[in-house]
Structure formats: structure tokens, C-alpha cells
Amino acid sequence: MSDPFKFDLVSPEKLLVSGEVEQVLVPGAEGDMTVLAHHAPVLTTLRPGLLEIGLASGRAQHFFIRGGFAEVNPTGLTVLAETAIDLDEMKADQLRQAIKDAEEDVADATDNALDRAQTKLDHLRQVEATLNL
């Protein structure tokens, strides 16, 4: 068991996780990194991928992260994610349906809405790839 440290996961919509954790696997731009208590200070951009939070209870939480920053400082770790999806709450059939709906949205989109619809579809496909479905 390692020492617990303060961790915050923040998306534009809300604070998703805040509390003491034992470790966090972060999908950094230059590769995955595991942050433990007393980690050296670092600031990194994030790439799309899996963020895994190791809780003191021995349980883990999983999020799909897309874009943003992670900062390790003497007080802990803060992840500011452009997008964060709780994978423990997402079911495979829900994801497949969301992808199907997004594909239909892209097919039906006008020029003004096409970029947004395509971005959403790309995002969902990255989640699917991360989960290996």
C-alpha cells in the first residue's frame, strides 16, 4: 500500500472526482504515467485514453479522457480534462447505440453542424477503441 494523496478530476461540466487516492494512471501526451504520493512535480498535456484511479479501498475507477492537462504538485494531482466519461457506468450496448446515433447525425448534418457531429462520433469511437469492444 502506498501513501494516499489528494486527487481532483475536473471536466468543463463538473468536478467528477475529489478525494484521497493511492495511485492514478494518467494518459500523458508522451505516454502513460502512474502518479503516486510524493511524485515529482510535472505538468503534461493529455492524449485520448484511459485514466485509472486506484482508491484506498482497493477498488479502481476508470474514465475515458480526451484532451486537457494534468498537474502534479506538492499538494497532489489535478486533471483538467476536456472530456471525461465514467467507463464504470457505461455499458457496451449503450456505447454501440450512441455510435449508431452519432453516425446517423453525421449523415443528416448540414454544413454548420457537420463538424460537431463528426467530433462526437470520433470521440465515441475512441471510447470504443479504449474499451476494446
pLDDT tens figures, 70-106 = 999 999 999 999 988 888 887 777 778 888 888 998 8
Cα(60)–Cα(26) distance, rounded to whole angstroms?
13
The class (CATH top level) of 5-86 is mainly beta
Residue 58: predicted pLDDT: 86
Report whether pLDDT(1) > 70: no
Cα(8)–Cα(19) distance, rounded to whole angstroms?
7
pTM, 2 dp: 0.77
Residue 11: predicted pLDDT: 92
Residue 133: predicted pLDDT: 56
> Would you list the domain boundaries of the chain?
5-86, 92-131
Where residue 53 falls among pLDDT bands split at 50, 70, 90? Answer: very high
